Structure 1
Amino acid sequence: MSDFPVALPSKERHFMTLSKEGPLFILHLHEKDNRFNTEFCQSILKALQIVEDFFLSSEEPVDMALVTLGNDKIYSNGLDLMHALSYTPFMDIYLSVLRRLVTFCIPTVAAINGHAFAGGCMLALAHDYRVMRSDRGYLCMNEVDLPSPLAPGMAGLLRYKMNPKTYRDMVLQGHRFTAQEALDQELVDIICPGDQVFDKSKELALKWAPKAKSGIVYKQLKDEMYCDIVRLLNIPFHRLAPKM
């Protein structure tokens, strides 16, 4: 079992920190812009595995939930595009992060402390719940302006998490959703000033942490709920990477 806090991927290359506060696991992403490259994705996957191992090792059902948090004014600015273009397997590694998170074994809350663009927006939407900063930051899928295609699994996740009009505006317009717009469109569950985002996220996580007492059933319910998303996230995307 890991001793907390855990520096990931290592103390020498410290992109994120996994800590534990009572029944809550906190994954604090604090790399510059929190852009996804292979090492960053593998660090998230390692963090999720540590949490899952802790969950599975519990002798009796316990309250448990995961909160992810960005840094300063950035939750995540999305993919490291140069890396995505230069390393063919990368997109499939990133999709595995979304697949792992969307069906994770305990309740998850994204503490959206600032901008969540493209891949960062997808990461937030892969959580069960979202708390967004009201005084700064946008949710945005700006692939139409890059330009870049969406992987089938990414498009599937977006379709499931929002209504058709919101999906159209997000994907075809690259609309930047303010916190109030995101709340109105049910993209997030709570909005609040930036200095309250982390605390509100922990409150929400504590509210739903008891659902982890269902054991593996919580994940089984999500496996069924998101079966279409998972099927699409399993479609390899690396063949399209050179066309991004």
Structure 2
Amino acid sequence: MQFLEASREQGIVTVTLSRGKVNALNESVIDEMTACIRDLAVDPAVRAVILTGQGKFFTYGFDIPEFLEYGKEDFLRYLTKFTNFYGALFLYPKPVVAALNGHTMAGGCMIAIACDYRIMVTGKARISLNEINFGSSLFAGSVEIMKMWLGQKNAEIAVYTGALYSAEEALGLGLIHEVAAEEDLVPRARRIAEEFAAKDGAAFGSIKKLLRGPLAERIRERERASLLEFVDIWYSEKTWNLLKEKQIRS
């Protein structure tokens, strides 16, 4: 794998995103992540998965400079892959723990909230579904999952303002489950993964479908329309100019 590193220990696989200084998401990254979790899902030796990143970012989100070169059809193709990925993660049959090692922004936040459990490093790291600050909309799935974790009121504040939350603030909102010092992050994520993995795998997957299946159905009904609206807003003149100003090179 070019952008992912996977290590396995006693049935728990740690998948680390490693792409440049901000771990920006592009089509190749999502293709790799999709293939990786698909393979791990059918591997009977894998009992749980930990997702994390290299460096000071879990992921910045979309690789804006790259996507500014995409036409609408190509961008829609990528968005479809991306939403399919976090949709698969949301209903993943095995436990998934997100060890948020640094900034977790936009598309990165969408991936994180699709996981079962999130532990975030203390310090300067921030987490946000901050698309509105780029003049961009959201996807039906990301909004519904935010509402699931935060409730309607706090979800509205989070996505309307694009606020950047510290680990402690995110914990108070219910956006993450725990905070940890940098040196404790991965060991703690592993302990949580081990607790989940000790449960019966078939029962875990069944209960997860019961808990999340109805919401996933509602998301599927609205996701495509939200993608089309996202693309229309993304390619508007005002948003295009904002994106050019805010782009960060990976």
Give the TM-score, by structure 1 length.
0.86
Alignment of 1:200-239 (within 5 A): 200-211=188-199, 213-215=200-202, 217-234=203-220, 235-236=223-224, 237-239=226-228
Question: Who is 2:63 aligned against?
Answer: 80
Question: Who is 1:47 aligned against?
Answer: 36
Aligned-pair CA distance for 1:126: 0.7
Distance 1:229 1:91 in 2: 20
Question: Who is 1:155 aligned against?
Answer: 143
1:25 aligns with 2:25: no
Alignment RMSD: 1.7
Question: Who is 2:233 aligned against?
Answer: 243
Aligned-pair CA distance for 1:225: 1.5
CA separation of 1:179 and 1:100: change in aligned 2, threshold 3 A:
same
Residue pair 1:68, 1:110 contacting (<8 A) in 2 also: yes
The 3-state SS of whatever aligns with 2:42 is helix
2:55 maps to amino acid: D
Residue pair 1:96, 1:233 contacting (<8 A) in 2 also: no
The 3-state SS of whatever aligns with 2:175 is coil
Structure (1 or 2) with the greater helix fraction: 2
The 3-state SS of whatever aligns with 2:80 is helix
Distance 1:118 1:229 in 2: 21
Distance 1:170 1:40 in 2: 27
Distance 2:96 2:48 in 1: 6
Residue pair 2:91, 2:213 contacting (<8 A) in 1 also: no
Distance 1:19 1:192 in 2: 21
Q: Which moved more, 1:66-75 or 1:159-168?
A: 159-168
Residue pair 1:84, 1:91 contacting (<8 A) in 2 also: no
Deviation above 4 Å: which 4+ runs of structure 1? 82-85
The 3-state SS of whatever aligns with 1:158 is helix
> 5+ residue gaps in structure 1?
1-7, 9-13
Aligned-pair CA distance for 1:108: 0.9
Aligned-pair CA distance for 1:83: 4.5
Distance 1:81 1:223 in 2: 34
Distance 2:158 2:12 in 1: 32
Q: Which moved more, 1:138-147 or 1:221-230?
A: 221-230
Question: Who is 2:173 aligned against?
Answer: 185
Residue pair 2:50, 2:190 contacting (<8 A) in 1 also: yes
Give the TM-score, by structure 2 length.
0.84
CA separation of 1:27 and 1:169: change in aligned 2, threshold 3 A:
same
Distance 1:54 1:141 in 2: 32
